[in-house]
Chains A and B, each alone.
Chain A
Amino acid sequence: MINCSSSRFLLLSGSSPPGRPVLLGCRSPEKETFTCWWDPGMDGGLPTTHRLYYQRERLEGTHECPDYHSAGRNTCFFDKNHTSIWVDYYLTVVACNALGNATSDVFKIDVMDIVKPDSPERVALEVENRAESPSLHVSWEHPRNVDTKSGWVTLEYQLRARRQQQQGSNNWKAYKAGAQTRFTLYSVHPGAVLMVQVRCRLDHGIWSEWSDTSYVKIPNNTAKEKPLWILVLALSASLFLAALCIVVTKRKSVTQYLLPPVPGPKIRGLDVTLLKSGRPEDLVSALIISQGFPSPVAWKDHMDDYLMVSDNVSGLLPDKGRRSLVMPPGFGFDSKHKNGVERKKSDSSSLMTQSVVNQDVLNPDTANCPYVDLGMHVEPTPESDYSKGKEMKSTNVLLLEKGNQSSYVDVPRPASLLEDYSQVEKVNGDKRMVILQKGAGQLDSSCREAQHSNRKTVPRNPHRDMDLIDGGYVDKVPTPMLGKPTVM
């Protein structure tokens, strides 16, 4: 035994006591022996020896490692006579050189916890080539140094396999084989190359390393199955084409079935089909509820007969040929003016267009006279079809409303404007609306004269009391109107 302290007087440059060794671990491959290894640390430039000492539960004293060589350098091998299980070992390693020694930390182990067997041996692969699906039989042997006969250990195996083409470690499929030394894989791909590995563990301890990879090629038997697949493909393709033809030929009914038409909104009194044509006269007809009105077809013929509308108080009449709103036939604008303004509310919900004509349009002489004349279409239509006027706004709009009985149109006016008539502000030919504006039209005495003169010159319609104005007719109801010209 080297006495480290006697070498104290040796002074060598660059020398130092050894560094502390470190016990790295121990392992028992079969639960009967075990080996420990350590890291020697720095030797301090001098020859250094390492010794392992241990104490054991239920064993008196400190003992030294029985075998330093069997397992290699810096290891200690405990044979069967020195190995006990279910008892604690306390190990230390001492490094010693001429200048001193160093002791590692105490390393405590129980052989029960360090059992890690060797890998299974002689892994054999055998392919069973059946017609429907091939299978792979895997067999192996237990590690050579493990005693399986006495029941001292319980071995458990695990197998894993994957196809060679697939990369990555997570493609392995693991299987538990229990205590058997054979296993059969049924889910193998024909034509693939399989890699198989096996490992084991003792008494549910630490798993061994995986065995060396074994390779096997699964024969390809799909040539026999090709006609079947072709048949299946052809059948499914023909079925698909048939279904496609049916859908295409009957696409309308299919569309009807899948996407039923959504019913549109129903507005009472509105004929939607007429709106679709897009013609102006159809629009009017669509808005008519009652059948009592004459058809707009005849009215269309007299589209020329409408009066011009302008809001020019000064009485300019730029264009005599201008046409104003069209009035549907059979409508009369009957206004009644009394001392004051009467306003008659219509109870019919339908709205009729109306035309209110500025008197300026009709006659330059009466340009300053703010009264409204209506162009009427001459037609032997029932006289009962009078329109009923209803003023939408007090200043602007005057709309006609259909009524069953002769009615009067009352134009509400404020008292200050008692003498004034609404003036047409805007003519909207499409909508057949005449927007009246309460203008600053003054009543002129000349208006009355002009009016009277107009009345005289216009030939009378045998059916109606109408005045011919600019090619049109003005229906005049000989009713007193507050002394104002008739508003019709």
Chain B
Amino acid sequence: MDTVILFLALASLGSVSSQPIADSQRLFSIAVSRVQHLHLLAQRLFSDFESSLQMEEQRQLNKIFLQDFCNSDYIISPIDKHETQRSSVLKLLSISYRLVESWEFPSRSLSGGSAPRNQISSKLSELKMGILLLIRANQDGAEMLADSSTLQLAPYGNYYQSVGDDESLRRMYELLACFKKDMHKVETYLTVAKCRLSPEANCTL
């Protein structure tokens, strides 16, 4: 259903549209609701995984590992409210796009949850498409050239395939935690961007 809406939006955007703001708002609403759903899904996956751990495993995971990192750490993104509000809508959209794209393939190795892995992957693909539409709807030629560096594709590599068996539990834990964090990021960025473009009074700066 949402795919149909996206296609219709794309078709309408392709032609000269007289109401770009209304279309943009509708696309934003769709994208925000989808990312909220993905964030809830990530939260549930993480809590299910945590509750399924044994006591011994939990103690091991609670040890502080300073070398923990996520696959998306190379993507520079705002980490507080002030920095986020200082960023442009397009920057927020492009960062969101990269974050979602970075999870498109690794999400297939996420374990647990009632939804199969390919469902998460397909949802991410659809969200990516929606964000791309929003980018195209909100950019002009000049901005596209300036931020071309931020549109580089993420290096996929063999990051998640070189994991040993004894570290698989650790990696899954980190994977789920990183997924949850990134979905929260995208949700926040899209909400701020939508609010920024909204003509409603209670959402302006």
Contact = CB atoms under 8 A, between A and B. Distances in A.
A149 B81 CA distance: 12
Contacts of A88: 68
Given A84-B80, A110-B181, A112-B181, A149 B202 contact: yes
A295 interface: no
A80 B181 contact: no
A86 interface: yes
B24 to A, nearest CB: 15
Interface in A175-220: 203-204
B188 A150 contact: no
B79 A86 contact: yes
Nearest to B70: A86
Nearest to A152: B81
B79 A85 contact: yes
A203 B184 contact: yes
Contacts of B195: 149-151
A204 B181 contact: no
B39 A204 contact: yes
Contact of B81 (A80, A90, A108, A148): A80
B16 to A, nearest CB: 29
Given A32-B81, A83-B80, A151-B191, A204 B196 contact: no
B185 interface: yes
Interface in B57-76: 64, 66, 68
Given A31-B81, A84-B80, A203-B184, A151 B196 contact: yes
A86 B194 CA distance: 21
B64 A108 contact: yes
Most chain B CB within 10 A, of A83, A150, A203, is at A150
B138 to A, nearest CB: 16
Given A90-B64, A203-B184, A151 B203 contact: yes
B31 interface: no
A80 B43 CA distance: 26
Given A58-B79, A108-B64, A204-B43, A150 B192 contact: yes
A203 B64 CA distance: 26
Contacts of A221: none
Given A80-B82, A86-B181, A87-B79, A149 B203 contact: yes
A440 interface: no
Nearest to A56: B79
B40 interface: yes
Interface string A384-396: 0000000000000
A443 to B, nearest CB: 106
A146 to B, nearest CB: 12
A83 B81 CA distance: 9
Interface in B5-41: 36, 39-40
A152 B92 CA distance: 13
A106 interface: yes
A86 B185 contact: yes
Interface residues of A, number: 24
A152 B188 contact: yes
A151 B181 contact: no
Contacts of A31: 81
B82 A84 contact: no
Interface string A422-442: 000000000000000000000
A204 B41 CA distance: 11
B81 A151 contact: no
A255 B59 CA distance: 76
A359 B195 CA distance: 130
A151 B192 contact: yes
A85 B80 contact: yes
A139 interface: no
B89 to A, nearest CB: 11
Nearest to B69: A57
A203 B195 CA distance: 15
A103 interface: no
Contact of A86 (B40, B184, B202): B184
B204 interface: yes
A112 B82 CA distance: 16
Interface in A30-52: 31-32
Given A90-B64, A108-B64, A151 B80 contact: no
Contacts of B181: 86, 110, 112
A471 B148 CA distance: 144
Contacts of A85: 79-80
A206 to B, nearest CB: 11
Interface in A58-94: 58, 80, 83-88, 90
A16 interface: no
B85 to A, nearest CB: 6
Interface in A136-174: 147-152, 154
B205 interface: yes
Nearest to A105: B64
A85 B39 CA distance: 16
A87 B191 CA distance: 20
A462 to B, nearest CB: 112
Contacts of B80: 32, 80, 83-85
Most chain A CB within 10 A, of B39, B85, B185, B191, is at B191
A216 B202 CA distance: 31
Given A150-B205, A151-B196, 5 more contacts: A83-B80, A86-B181, A149-B202, A149-B204, A154-B36
Interface of B: 36, 39-40, 43, 64, 66, 68, 77, 79-82, 84-85, 181, 184-185, 187-188, 191-196, 202-205
24 contacts: A31-B81, A58-B79, A80-B81, A85-B79, A86-B184, A87-B79, A90-B64, A112-B181, A147-B81, A148-B202, A149-B195, A149-B202, A149-B205, A150-B81, A150-B203, A150-B205, A151-B192, A151-B194, A151-B203, A152-B192, A154-B191, A203-B184, A203-B187, A204-B36
A-B pairs with lowest CB-CB distance, top 8 = A151-B195, A84-B79, A151-B191, A151-B192, A84-B80, A152-B81, A106-B64, A108-B64
